[in-house]
């Protein structure tokens, strides 16, 4: 398997087949001995902006702490939760529990549901 | 039978390409100033679009990825972001122009000036997206867009010399005002080969749940849909050539463009023009709003669909709410939609390579398309479109300054 | 030490003697039960082409141009890469000792 072609930027699906964003980054542990291991999948704005320029990453991180769900760090999903890597990366997690959908939930609750006809998140 | 009804996806796509305010304005200007001499530009745009649209549909049906999905996954976030910047900014300008076009049409019908229509029009477009489904938008806009067939009726009633018109299908230079001629040629191509059409079409194919069994009908839809739009655009040019050129009327305002229908259809022409523009610009506004929202959502991996309630794809809904709202602002202050149209067409041309070059890679990707990859004909066409897009990118802005 | 894989893409790699080798374009990994371990780094223009799945496009063109340069890609086994400074990755061996991958 190749990380950039087959994993990075791929869509993430949770155990209920709900989309939970895309693979924004991958954390690799480089130890004293043994091959490096991919330990986590990163999802979230600052990770993406860092890929363009570190200053944009820092700006995104700072803004993200001022409003919205106010995450201090990008959503980090352990690689051990990966079920399959194919057209999408399928995870054995509940999307809402990972933090990957924090912005989606925040926009839904604070903006969309206040507009008539926007609907509401009835299933939790 | 169900597959044939998908023709509406082709029609709404081509309405957004050929019958929106930019295309109609440039076709009218071209006919009024140069007669049939620029028909070749519409033909070229139509041929390019037939291939590009077919490819967008094929990619979606086989790989279950939209073009934007594929750009993000294959080229990575940084490249995707630059394509987003280039195409979305320009598409937003076109959206402003389309909302202005609806406002202009209502101005003709009611006498109330277009800035007053900016907010109500934006609200109606937004409401349709908020409450409507993809099918409703696709079929509704296509059905309403059929009123533009009145341009063909007008063209036939004016009894053009078809041999003369046919000669316009091959490029011939005018005797004077060459920079204006090339400016209009570039504008026609920029107005028709708009990247957002391919994003919209491939997203529509996913919304309509296409699979490999749709490949044959995809070819029919792309060919029929774009030909429909191209022929209507040619009809606009022919009508302007026969109705405005002999009177020396240059199309500088929307109202002057409206005059072209009154020669052929004295009683109803003016109103048919207004209605045609109303529905065509409406369809285009919906298409562009969706295309921009699709671009963000697919690229960032958000939930997206017109067929679910807004809270289920909150960020997708938020994007189109925001852009439609912002698009109304310049119009409320009376910014001329025609000027925005001309600028946006030059900028579309300037940013075209960004959107078309990825096509060449994606349509040859064995992982996405398997045996349905491009053959040499399609690759040659994409190559030609890339060449055209680079030429347009280089000349569009200087020509805008010189000839616009 | 933790490194971000996505930030290594495109980073220039030099060998133990300071010679330029190329840019990191891809990472070959093996997936085992719930784990993903790195086998090798792929460096060079061909690795980029492979990552873009663009061989069906590039091969006929390079054949026509009779160009063989585009076929070079270096496969660097994980143990031969020093990522102490992730912004300046370097090989622990000389370029000449590297295996060219296909």
Domains and CATH numbers, chain B: 4-403 (1.20.1740.10)
Closest CA to B258 of B245, B271, B246, B241: B271
pLDDT digits (tens, 9 = 90+) for A78-111: 999 999 999 999 999 988 888 888 888 888 898 9
> Region C80-92: what's the mean pLDDT?
92
Instruction: Return the pLDDT at A123.
Output: 45
For an interface test with C, give the residue of B361, B363, B372 to mutate (most C CBs within 10 A). B361
Q: What tokens were used for A46?
A: 């600052």
Q: Percentage of residues in chain B with pLDDT exceeding 90?
A: 58
Instruction: Return the pLDDT at B12.
Output: 75
> Region C23-32: what's the mean pLDDT?
93
Closest CA to B142 of B3, B282, B45, B261: B282
pLDDT bin (cut points 50, 70, 90) of residue C58 is confident
> Region A41-69: what's the mean pLDDT?
88
All structural domains of chain A with their residue ranges: 3-114
**Residue A118: half-sphere exposure toward Cβ, Cα within 13 Å:** 20
Q: Does residue B361 belong to the interface with chain C, where contact is any CB pair within 8 Å?
A: yes
Min Cα separation A59/chain C (Å) = 17
Query: What backbone phi and psi angles, to 5 degrees, belong to B302?
Result: -80, 165
Give exposure, B163-186, as e/b (b: 16+ Cβ within 10 Å). eebeebeeeeeeeeeeebbbbbbb
Total count of domains within chain C: 1
Q: What is the ipTM of this complex?
A: 0.90
Give exposure, B53-67, as e/b (b: 16+ Cβ within 10 Å). bbbbbbbbbbbbbbb
**C9 with B76: Cβ contact below 8 A:** yes
**C37 with A36: Cβ contact below 8 A:** yes
Q: Does residue A77 belong to the interface with chain C, where contact is any CB pair within 8 Å?
A: no
pLDDT digits (tens, 9 = 90+) for B148-183: 899 999 999 999 999 999 999 999 888 888 888 988
Q: Is B299 in a helix, a strand, or coil?
A: helix
The CA-based angle B57-B60-B61, given to 5 degrees, is: 85
Q: In what order do the strands lie in the sheet with A82-85?
A: A19-22, A11-13, A89-91, A82-85
- Write out residues 287-306 of B within 8 Å (CB-CB) of A: 300-303
What is the DSSP code (8-state) at residue B306? T
Domain around C63: 5-101
Cβ proximity of A93 and A11 under 8 Å: no
Q: Is A18 in a helix, a strand, or coil?
A: coil
* Correct CATH for A3-114 of 2.30.30.240, 2.30.30.40, 1.10.287.540, 3.90.1150.10: 2.30.30.240
Q: Does residue A30 belong to the interface with chain C, where contact is any CB pair within 8 Å?
A: yes
pLDDT bin (cut points 50, 70, 90) of residue C71 is low
Query: Which position has the higher pLDDT, C8 or B388?
Result: C8
What lies within 8 Å, CB to CB, of B106 at 6+ separation is: B112, B114, B117, B121, B274, B278
Partners of residue C54 in chain B, C-beta under 8 Å: 361, 364-365
Entry pTM? 0.91
pLDDT digits (tens, 9 = 90+) for B47-85: 999 999 999 999 999 999 999 999 999 999 999 999 999
pLDDT bin (cut points 50, 70, 90) of residue A121 is low
Q: Is A96 in a helix, a strand, or coil?
A: helix
The residue with tokens 């912004």 is C87
Could you tell me how many helices (H) and strands (E) chain C has, helices first? Answer: 3, 8
pLDDT digits (tens, 9 = 90+) for B205-257: 998 899 999 999 999 999 988 999 999 999 999 999 999 999 988 888 878 88
Instruction: Return the pLDDT at B29.
Output: 92
> Region B324-339: what's the mean pLDDT?
92
Min Cα separation B307/chain A (Å) = 13
Q: Percentage of residues in chain B with pLDDT exceeding 70?
A: 99
Distance of CA A55 to the CA centre of its chain: 20
CATH number for the domain spanning C53: value is: 2.30.30.240
pLDDT bin (cut points 50, 70, 90) of residue C66 is low
């Amino acid at each position: 398997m190749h990380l950039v072609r087959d994993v990075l930027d791929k869509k993430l699906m949770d155990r209920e087949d709900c989309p939970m964003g895309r693979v924004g980054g991958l954390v690799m542990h480089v130890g004293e001995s043994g091959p490096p291991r991919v330990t986590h999948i990163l999802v979230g704005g600052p990770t993406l902006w860092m890929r363009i320029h570190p200053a944009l990453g820092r700006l995104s991180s700072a803004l993200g702490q001022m409003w919205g769900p106010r995450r201090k760090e990008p959503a980090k999903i352990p690689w051990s939760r990966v079920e399959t890597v194919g057209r999408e990366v399928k995870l054995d997690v509940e999307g809402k529990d990972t933090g990957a959908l924090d912005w989606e939930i925040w926009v839904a609750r604070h903006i969309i549901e206040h507009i008539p006809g926007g609907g509401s998140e009835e299933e939790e | 039978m169900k597959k044939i009804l998908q023709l509406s996806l082709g029609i709404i796509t081509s309405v957004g390409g050929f019958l929106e305010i930019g295309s109609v304005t440039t076709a009218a200007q071209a006919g009024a100033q140069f007669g049939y001499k620029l028909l070749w530009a519409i033909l070229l745009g139509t041929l390019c679009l037939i291939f590009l649209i077919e490819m967008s549909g094929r990619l979606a049906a086989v790989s279950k990825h939209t073009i934007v999905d594929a750009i993000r996954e294959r080229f990575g976030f940084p490249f995707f972001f630059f394509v987003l910047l280039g195409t979305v900014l320009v598409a937003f300008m076109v959206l402003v122009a389309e909302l202005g076009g609806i406002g202009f049409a209502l101005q003709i019908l009611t006498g109330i000036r277009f800035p007053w229509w900016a907010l109500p029009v934006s609200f109606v477009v937004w409401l349709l997206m908020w409450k409507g489904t993809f099918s409703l938008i696709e079929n509704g806009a296509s059905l309403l867009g059929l009123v533009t067939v009145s341009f063909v009726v007008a063209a036939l009633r004016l009894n053009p010399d078809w041999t003369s018109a046919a000669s316009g299908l091959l490029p011939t230079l005018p005797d004077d005002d060459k920079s204006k001629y090339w400016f209009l040629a570039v504008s026609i191509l920029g107005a028709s080969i708009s990247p957002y059409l391919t994003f919209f079409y491939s997203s529509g194919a996913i919304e309509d749940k296409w699979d490999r069994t749709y490949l044959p009908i995809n070819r029919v839809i792309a060919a029929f849909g774009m030909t429909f739009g191209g022929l209507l655009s040619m009809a606009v040019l022919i009508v302007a050539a026969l109705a405005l050129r002999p009177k020396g009327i240059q199309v500088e305002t929307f109202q002057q463009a409206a005059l072209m229908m009154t020669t052929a259809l004295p009683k109803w022409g003016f109103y048919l023009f207004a209605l045609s523009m109303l529905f065509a610009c409406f369809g285009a506004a919906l298409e562009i709003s969706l295309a921009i929202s699709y671009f963000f959502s697919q690229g960032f991996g958000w939930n997206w669909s017109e067929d679910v309630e807004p809270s289920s794809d909150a960020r997708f809904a938020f994007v189109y709410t925001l852009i439609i709202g912002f698009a109304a602002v310049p119009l409320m202050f009376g910014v001329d939609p025609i000027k925005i149209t001309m600028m946006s067409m030059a900028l579309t041309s300037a940013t075209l390579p960004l959107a078309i070059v990825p096509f060449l890679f994606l349509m040859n990707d064995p992982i996405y398309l398997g045996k349905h990859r491009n053959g040499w004909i399609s690759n040659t066409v994409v190559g030609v479109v890339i060449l055209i897009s680079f030429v347009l990118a280089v000349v569009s802005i200087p020509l805008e300054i010189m000839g616009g | 030490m933790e490194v971000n894989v996505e930030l290594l893409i495109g980073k220039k790699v030099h060998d133990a003697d300071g010679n330029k080798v190329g840019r990191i374009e891809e990472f070959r990994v093996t997936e085992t039960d719930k784990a993903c371990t790195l086998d090798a780094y792929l460096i060079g223009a061909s690795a980029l082409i492979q990552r873009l799945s663009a061989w069906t496009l590039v091969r006929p063109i390079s054949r026509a141009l009779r160009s063989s340069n585009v076929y070079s890609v270096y496969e660097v086994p994980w143990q031969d890469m020093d990522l102490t400074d992730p912004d300046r990755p370097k090989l622990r061996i000389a370029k000449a000792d590297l295996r060219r991958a296909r």
